[in-house]
């Protein structure tokens, strides 16, 4: 039988449990870093695209 005392005990234990707090904090940090990098993504995309195109051209020029 569920009594008011067992409900209070469960609620108290639930509110005092901090085992998932670290995961939430790390998630917020990752989200913040992603938002900070977001404006630079188009520049990074063109940089890496150009780098791989140059690499491919270098390989193609080396072949007979």
For the stretch 1-21, pLDDT in tens is 778 888 889 888 888 877 777
The tally of domains found in the chain comes to: 1
Q: How far apart are CA 47 and CA 53, in angstroms?
A: 10
pTM for the structure as a whole:
0.40
CA dihedral (52, 56, 61, 64) in degrees, to 10, reads: 160
Amino acid 58: pLDDT: 92
Q: How far apart are CA 64 and CA 47, in angstroms?
A: 28
Write out the residue range of the structural domain in which residue 14 sits: 4-62
């Amino acid at each position: 039988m569920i009594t008011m005392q067992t409900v209070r005990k469960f609620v108290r234990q639930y509110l005092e449990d901090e085992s998932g707090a670290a995961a939430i904090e790390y998630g917020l940090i990752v989200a913040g870093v992603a938002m900070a990098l977001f404006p630079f993504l188009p520049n990074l995309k063109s940089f890496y695209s150009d780098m791989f195109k140059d690499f491919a051209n270098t390989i193609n020029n080396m072949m007979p």
